Amino acid sequence: MTALQTRTDAEVERSTQALREAGTQLLLGSVTDLAGVTRGKYVPLDRVPAFHRSGMGASPSWSVFCVDSGIAFTPELGVVGDLRIRVDPTQARPVEDGVAWAPGEFYEQDGTPSSMCTRGALARQAARAADLGLSVLVGAELECTVLAPDGSHSTTSPWSPYSVRTSLAHAGLLREVTARFAAAGLPIEQLHDEYGHDQLELSLPPLPPVEAADAVVLARILLSRAAESQGLRISFSPVPFAGEAGNGAHLHLSLADEEGPLLAGGDGPHGMREAGQHAVAGLVDSLPELLALHAGSVLSPVRLQPGNWAGAAACWGLENREAAVRLLGATQGNPHGANVELKVVDPSTNPYLAVATMLGAALDGIEEKTELPAEVTDAPDGATLPPLPTTQRDALAALDGSARARRLLGDGIVGGVLAVRTYEADTFGERPVADVAEALRLAWTC
Ligand code: GLU
Ligand code: MG
């Protein structure tokens, strides 16, 4: 049961009234599909209770819409049938003048949860953690690239990473982003110019798993709209321009039981407790088979290369930015406490699936007492590490054969992901990267 299903009529009515008093005219309810694209439907405010209780219709093929508007129909996901998108109005936030957004979930017409619902899949992993007596926090980083309206770079003077000059050139955008996040009640942890030309990064604070994935969707909407209001665009492509820095969507995970954090206060490496070591081991162990859910698009392998700080090596290490799993210790400089960062994730992934599988793999490690492999303390030596798939098709083959992915997410979601990503491989896989980067530059923008 997700929180959405437990909302009472009175709660829904109160939320609707609050939206009305704030001048809202329309509620946008969104779902993010298996290619990582967020899609939605709108209702005027008097239809909000119906959007929550009965939902608005969507063909099952919504799950297999592709990055370029193609549809990767499967025998199960076709033109016949109907799903309902239901929203949680208690989570609504303003995103534009008169428009609020709320997260949505897929249901069958009879009101039972759909097996294709990625928010529901994440809620199941969150409930599993709670059943194990664990509390979970997830913090998301959003890297993106600011564009001119025609999709080219938004600034033409030479770029300088993290520079005051280049960041102040975007001061109007940064101000707009800050105002919109404040209006939406979504705190910004930090904001800065990144390594790539016109690349921006915004970090969100740690939140419970479902709220964390919702916050990624909301943040993508707010960033995209802030840019548009300044006559700019935002790209959430893993590779907006061939040969330039890629965009990551790193996720931080911390776990605690009633005795405290699992990744600190123990006698294991860097103070990890035994369960914390198993959680990290589970994450590392799962990487090859789950890569297609973390960085599964046709452009993802172009970003996921050694030297890009994208975590292209299947290993873990304290503060190691080339390791797929980077451990951050409990120090004064880290007020949120010890956590692990999954660096392989990029913004072409569905954030609900990325968080669900990251958490699921950590919980598998705890339950199965997976043994922690040796730490990698330097730039990883690919020759001695368990390899990650290096092509999209290899990542898809590993996912196809993954009993773990099917257990964590169900056959429906795994089959849908395989369908949309295979479509990408067939449609774009043989084309030059520069063409594909251009074609998909705005594919994940909200
Ligand atoms: N842009 C890099 C990536 O694609 C990450 C750089 C960093 O460590 O922040 O993941
Ligand atoms: Mg970064």
At 17, is the secondary structure helix, strand, or coil? helix
Specify whether 97 is located in the same domain as 224: no
Q: What is the CATH number of the domain that holds 369?
A: 3.30.590.10
Same domain for 167 and 83? no
The single-letter DSSP state of residue 71 is: B
Q: Which atom of ligand 1 is nearest to the CA of 321?
A: 8
Q: Give percent of the chain above pLDDT 70.
A: 100
Structural domain including 298 reads 124-404
pLDDT grade for 384, boundaries at 50, 70 and 90: confident
Calpha distance 161→142 (Å, rounded) = 16
Domain count, the chain: 2
Cβ of residue 240 lying under 6 Å from some atom of ligand 1:
no
User: Using a 6 Å cutoff on CB, does residue 326 contact ligand 1?
Assistant: no
233: pLDDT strictly greater than 90: yes
Q: What pLDDT, on the 0 to 100 scale, is given for residue 379? A: 85
Give ∠ CA 77-3-345 in degrees, rounded to 5. Answer: 60
Does the pLDDT of residue 263 top 90, yes or no? yes
Q: Which residue owns the Cα nearest ligand 1 atom 8? A: 309
Ligand 1 proximity of 248 Cβ (cutoff 6 Å): yes
Give residue-wise pLDDT tens across range 114-168.
Answer: 999 999 999 999 999 999 999 999 999 999 999 999 999 999 999 999 999 999 9
For residue 38, CA distances in Å to 30, 101, 118, 236, 294 come to 6, 12, 12, 12, 16
CA dihedral sign of residues 165, 203, 117, 52? negative
The span from the CA of 4 to the CA of 163, in Å, is 43
Nearest ligand to the CA atom of 348: 1
User: How confident is residue 51, by pLDDT bands cut at 50, 70 and 90?
Assistant: very high
Question: Is the domain of 307 the same as that of 357?
Answer: yes
- Tell me the pLDDT band of 441, cut-offs 50, 70 and 90: very high
Task: Choose one of 192, 199, 250 to mutate for the ligand 1 pocket test, by most ligand atoms within 8 angstroms of C-beta.
Answer: 250
Is residue 75 located within the same domain as residue 203?
no
**289 neighbors 403 (Cβ within 8 angstroms):** no
| Predicted pLDDT of residue 360 | 98
- Residue 277 inside a domain? The answer is yes
Residue 428, pLDDT > 80, answer yes
Q: Is 47 in the pocket of ligand 1 (CB under 6 A)?
A: no
Q: How far is the CA of 406 from the centre of ligand 2 (A)?
A: 31
pLDDT tens-digit readout, 290-322: 999 999 999 999 999 999 999 999 999 999 999
CB of 245 within 6 A of ligand 1: the answer is: yes
205 and 335 together in one domain: yes
> Per the confidence metrics, is the pTM higher than 0.85?
yes
Domain identity same for 60 and 197: no
Q: What is the pLDDT of residue 318?
A: 96
Q: How many whole angstroms from 308 Cα to the centroid of ligand 1?
A: 7
Answer yes or no: is the C-beta of 310 below 6 A from any ligand 1 atom: yes
Question: Average per-residue pLDDT in the chain?
Answer: 96
Co-location of 322 and 348 in the same domain = yes
Q: What was the pLDDT predicted at 1?
A: 82
Which atom of ligand 1 approaches the CA of 246 most closely? 4
pLDDT for the residue 168: 94
Residue 330 resides in a domain: yes
Residue 383 pLDDT > 90: no
- 426 in any annotated domain: no
Look at residues 360, 204, 186, 335 and name the one whose alpha carbon lies nearest to residue 261.
335
- CA-nearest residue, atom 6 of ligand 1: 309
Same domain, 86 and 167: no
Mean pLDDT, residues 226-248 taken together: 98
Q: How many whole angstroms from 201 Cα to the centroid of ligand 2?
A: 6
- Domain shared by 297 and 249, yes or no: yes
Where do runs of H (alpha helix) occur along 22-106? 48-53
